[in-house]
Amino acid sequence: MRSFWPQSLLARLSLVMVAGLLLTQVAGSVLWTMQLRDKTEADVQSAAQYLGQGAASSIRFFRSLPPSYRSLLIQQFREMGGTRFYVALNRGEVALQQIAPQPLAQTALGALEATLRNDLAGESRLRLAFAWPEQLAVSPDGIRVGDLPEAWVRHILLLKPDPAPILVIQTELEPGNWLYLATLMPNPYFLNSNDPLSRDKLVVQGVSLAVLLLLSFLMVRSITRPLAALSDAAEAFGKDDHAPALPASGSREIVSTARAFGAMRERIAKYIKDRERLFISISHDLRTPITRLKLRAELLDDDALREEFEEDLDELDMMVKGALQCVKDSDIHENPTEVKLDPLIRRMVRSAQLAGHNVAYADSGVAVRAKPLALKRAIGNLLDNALYYGERAEISVRALPAWIEIAVRDHGPGVPEEAIASLLEPYVRLSHGRAHNDAGLGLGLGIANGIVEGHGGQLLLANHPDGGLNAVIRLPA
């Protein structure tokens, strides 16, 4: 499941909001459907009982009439525009093509039959059914309701434009005489009343869900946009870019965070400037007494003591210069630009070859967005280390989907595995390094690492399988 979980805050909040809304809609629809089903069943039973009482009265009325008067009375009803029922007399039972079985229809028929049998004591020959108008026969010889004059049924049945199921009640008045009653339920479209998937309900739910999702997405986006701006500002500040101040807009918490970040950025910038001034001042202030001590050391008569003083003063002078160089080299103020690596590395390789070193490089055609001088300094430090501590060096560049890798490999003895982690710390030098380069201070790798991290990349150190140390600069592609 973790692989399907989105990484961005906007996607996560949107997914949670969508899932929450969908689950709420589903749960609400289920509860609403259960309540609607119970209410609809109660309404249908009540309507069927009311309709059954009216049908029982009509059956008792026609049963009380002499057979010769029944047809005349039915004709008068039709000329007057009909009654609650469409009434017909037939010689036998009419075969009906019923609607597909549905729970609500069975509930209505059950309540209707119970009411009729209760009101018509001893009635045994009852035929109850629902049928669609286009399939409804009204006589045993196959005459359908659509074949009847419109005036007979237009106030009783719904035939068009949206037909409703018709309830048909047939009962035998006496042998050979069947009374045929056809009517509509009080709610003609009762079969659709408890359908949660009906078109109108789906449209309403779909529109409401879409509006809620849109508003939720806009709200989540308004919340995450300042956070994205804060992340961009933090990344730009980490790369020494001059990012504009964050806008103080959004919720109270976002505004407070933006102001706190701005104040933090100002304090860090002030601290960095103070650090630069401090190191420059210390370097300047220390050089004068160091120079004065060197002059005084020249006046010593004891040659051995004078040499010891001069060595200590030279070491102190080199440490001061190294500290100042570490501050300056790790804080190069440039604007990032598109850097073609082949010309940049070729110039460093050519300079090393002119100095008599063996350096190999093959063009890659790769470009990277970086600060040119800072990147050159980082690669140069790695190349200098490789040439100091190895017989020869190789530089290679390759493009990966997410990274650009610049590898500098030497052919020296390599580094003990337990010491690799400490190489990036300042003033750390191994015995092999001190033997090959007495003038070094152990700052080159630390400076290169600071520059690479300022670009949002990584400096990886590892022993090469074929021998020597392999230093890899990984920059975002």
Question: Could you tell me the residue ranges of all domains in the chain?
Answer: 2-192, 252-329, 337-476
Q: Express each pLDDT in 80-98 by its tens digit.
A: 766 788 888 998 999 988 8
Question: Given this model, what pLDDT does residue 438 score?
Answer: 52
Q: Express each pLDDT in 273-282 by its tens digit.
A: 777 777 767 7
Question: Given this model, what pLDDT does residue 212 score?
Answer: 80
Question: Given this model, what pLDDT does residue 46 score?
Answer: 92
Question: Given this model, what pLDDT does residue 359 score?
Answer: 92
Q: Express each pLDDT in 309-332 by its tens digit.
A: 777 777 677 666 666 665 555 555
Question: CATH code for 252-329?
Answer: 1.10.287
Question: Does 413 have pLDDT greater than 70?
Answer: yes
Question: Does 247 have pLDDT greater than 90?
Answer: no
Question: Does 431 have pLDDT greater than 60?
Answer: no
Task: Give 368's pLDDT tier (boundaries 50, 70, 90).
Answer: very high
SS3 string, the chain, reads CHHHCCCCHHHHHHHHHHHHHHHHHHHHHHHHHHHHHHHHHHHHHHHHHHHHHHHHHHHHHHHHCCHHHHHHHHHHHHHHCCCCCEEEEECCCCCCCECCCCHHHHHHHHHHHHHHHHHCCCCCCEEEEEECHHHCECCCCCCEHHHCCHHHHCCCCCCCCCCCCEEEEEEEEECCEEEEEEECCCCCCHHHCCCCCCHHHHHHHHHHHHHHHHHHHHHHHHHHHHHHHHHHHHHHHHCCCCCCCCCCCCCHHHHHHHHHHHHHHHHHHHHHHHHHHHHHHHHHHHHHHHHHHHHHHHCCCCHHHHHHHHHHHHHHHHHHHHHHHHHHHCCCCCCCEEEEHHHHHHHHHHHHHHCCCCEEECCCCCEEEECHHHHHHHHHHHHHHHHHHCCCEEEEEEECCCEEEEEEEECCCCCCHHHHHHCCCCCCCCHHHHHHCCCCCCCHHHHHHHHHHHCCCEEEEEECCCCCEEEEEEEEC
Question: CATH code for 337-476?
Answer: 3.30.565.10
What average pLDDT does this structure show over 396-416?
A: 89
Please give the model's pTM, rounded to 2 decimal places.
Answer: 0.45
Q: Express each pLDDT in 462-471 by its tens digit.
A: 888 888 889 9
